[in-house]
Amino acid sequence: MSARPPEPVAQAIEILARRHDAVPADAILDYELLSGGNSHITWRLLTGDPARDLVVKIAQPDGPLAPYDVKHEAAMMAQAEAAGVPAPALVGVHHEGDVQFILMRRVEGDSPSLWEVREWLKDRPDTDRIDIGHSLLSTLPRLALASRGPRTQQAIYTDYLGDLVAKVEEAADGVLALPPTIRVVHDWLVSRLPSMEAPTVLCHGDFRLGNAVFDGGDIAALLDWERAMEGHPLHDLGFLCLPGMKIGDHICGVLTQQELADAWLDLTGTPLDLRAAAYFRILAIFGELCLMVRAMARLAQGRGRLTGVRPLPLIGRLHHDLVRAVRSFENDDFTL
């Protein structure tokens, strides 16, 4: 290694060398920062052979989006893999002491962000765009195979929404004045939970193009399972339809609403319930708003800094999108 990596990466590498046979002390030749800083930092550990490179996600306890639970993500990745959902191969987890991290094999392929998707698709035929969206959606029926515990979805979402609000109120106490919209929309969401006759499934929680690695037109892996939870089969589809991830008429930059509905019918054999999908879209907007307001409160307390995000404009846009989406829903407009 040309130079000692920054802390706590050096500590993580030392722990890896001591505790994981798959990572001998001299295996890591160099390192490369990939992303993170809000709840964790992700590094690529280079071995000289790209097929054997590793990725380590190190928790940032004081990050504005903390806490990041390495044990939870590892458990969700294992459950997804058992259900046949492509996920990075887990090498190990360290959840003791000041340096906590999850170690996985690097997955080769393309993982375009929303801002890169137009350039990524520019020279491809339009059928490739639809195929990529279809491939992304194809992971959702496989997630449904990862059946969850006996809790009712009514209980799951009542607790989930209550936890979102409790965390944002705790973070903002004495720091920020919360918009009344948060409590009003919480109550609205609880009162309008859709029919919960659908099976309870494993949900990714951050389901978007940037968290998928593509090998050609196929999904090689879904990344970032830290927000995974049990829930409704349309939970992840609602997140995919976040207004901030829409480019023109294309949801997540790849599918129109009709193309998404057609793909859902093709993959599941049942028509897409637009009312339920619109509900979970609102739930996703609400969750992102709570997350960013909580992050803003932690920033005001001097706890870390947000990377790649301007919090105040984002909070304003999420608030606008939330009010607009609720109004449309109440007018029976289920546009995604």
What pLDDT does 32 receive?
87
Query: Is the pLDDT assigned to residue 238 strictly greater than 80?
Result: yes
SS (H, E, C) 128-195: HHHHHHHHHHCHHHHHCCCCCCCCCHHHHHHHHHHHHHHHHHHHHCCCCCCCCHHHHHHHHHHHCCCC
* Whole-number pLDDT of residue 317: 95
Q: What is the arithmetic mean of pLDDT over 299-305?
A: 73
pLDDT band at residue 163 using 50, 70 and 90 as cut-offs: very high
Do residues 235 and 222 lie in contact, with contact meaning Cβ atoms separated by under 8 Å? no
Mean pLDDT for the chain overall? 87
- Return the higher-pLDDT residue of 177 and 196: 177
CATH of domain 9-105: 3.30.200.20
CATH architecture of the region 114-330: Alpha-Beta Complex (3.90)
251 has a pLDDT exceeding 90: yes
- In this prediction the pTM is 0.92
What is the dihedral angle through the alpha carbons of 132, 138, 139, 144, rounded to the nearest 10 degrees? Answer: 160
Place of tokens 């959902």: 85
pLDDT tens figures, 72-101: 999 999 988 888 899 999 888 888 877 888
Does the pLDDT value for residue 38 go beyond 80? no
Q: Residue 288 pLDDT more than 70?
A: yes
**What is the predicted pLDDT for the residue at 6?**
65
Mean pLDDT within 7-25: 67
Domain layout of the chain by residue ranges? 9-105, 114-330
